[in-house]
Amino acid sequence: MKASIGVIGGTGPAGSSLALRFASLGYPVVIGSRDAARAQEVVREHSKRSPSAMQTLSGMDNAAAAACDVVVMATPWDGAEAAALTHGDALGGKVVVSMVNALYKQGNNMNSLVLPRGSVAQHLAACLPNSQVVGAFHHAPAKELGAFESPLPIDILVCSDFPSATARVISLIGEIPGARGVDAGNLSSALAIEAMTAVLINVNIRYKTRSSIQLSGIKVP
């Protein structure tokens, strides 16, 4: 039986797209929200696209998402700490994936924020000392991530201070057709990875596209 995946704050474009992608692969997935009704509404919207893919997707509150085997943090950056502290006990001993980016817009330019502990992922690690925090999925464009009928030709950078957690997330990514998980080192790498998201958004704005990252010169098993 496949591990359950919970997405805390999963009603936004990125979180719900990630949930939809893994549900399409047969994983039991819970989209979590502070408002369970909102999460259920998102699931209903997804079900209009493909009822068969929704058999393993459900919408509940964030507590239900935190109770899953693997948990993804997809909240806005300024709500990540509160969510982590609220559900810290349930997240203990688990792999917690942060896909959160701390960004702000200034004029037509997107900029990254540096938090007191560096990246959002590092901040979450400090809030969750009993969890294995992993940074991943920061650069995955939401629309393509949720288009589960099509491959996702993208390299997803993964960083963590726990090699086993890194390997587990890379294995999950490897189930997505076309995607590769790339070990980007310790959790300290999350600062550069999160900041790069702002760069990609600026490229997308200027070229009216949705760019992603693919690395050349490496062979990933």
Domain borders along the chain are: 5-207
- The per-residue pLDDT of the chain, averaged, comes to 95
Coil, strand, or helix at residue 18?
helix
The C-alpha angle with vertex 7 and arms to 103 and 141, in degrees rounded to 5, equals 50
Per-residue model confidence as pLDDT tens digits over 43-63: 999 888 777 667 899 999 999
Encode pLDDT of 164-177 as tens digits. Answer: 999 999 999 999 99
Residue range 96-150, pLDDT digits in tens? 999 999 999 999 899 999 998 999 999 999 999 999 999 999 999 999 999 999 9
**Which CATH class name applies to 5-207?**
alpha beta
**Cα four-point dihedral sign 137, 193, 104, 80:** positive
